[in-house]
Amino acid sequence: MDILLIILVGGSLVGVYKAIEEMRKRKDREIELREKMGDDYDLFIEMRNKKKENIKNSKH
């Protein structure tokens, strides 16, 4: 029983670690994109969000 508990806790910790790493990667990509695009970054994000919203609305 103890081994099963250790395996479950270990698996949970690995999952949390992977989620944190993915969030860091996304943040790094966002910073890199912001640096590359400069002033056009806000317009790009606005257009991307509108596109996502249109796709979401068309599915319903």
pLDDT digit string, tens, across residues 35-47: 999 889 889 889 9
User: What is d(CA 53, CA 56) in angstroms, rounded to the nearest whole number?
Assistant: 5
Q: Please say whether the beta carbons of 53 and 46 come within 8 A.
A: no
pLDDT at site 17: 97
The pTM is what? Answer: 0.60
pLDDT (tens digit per residue) in 16-38 = 999 999 999 999 999 999 999 98
Domain residue extents for the chain: 2-59
CA 30 to chain centroid, in Å, comes to 10
Task: List the alpha helices (DSSP H) in the chain.
Answer: 2-37, 41-59
47 against 59, higher pLDDT = 47
Amino acid 39: pLDDT = 85
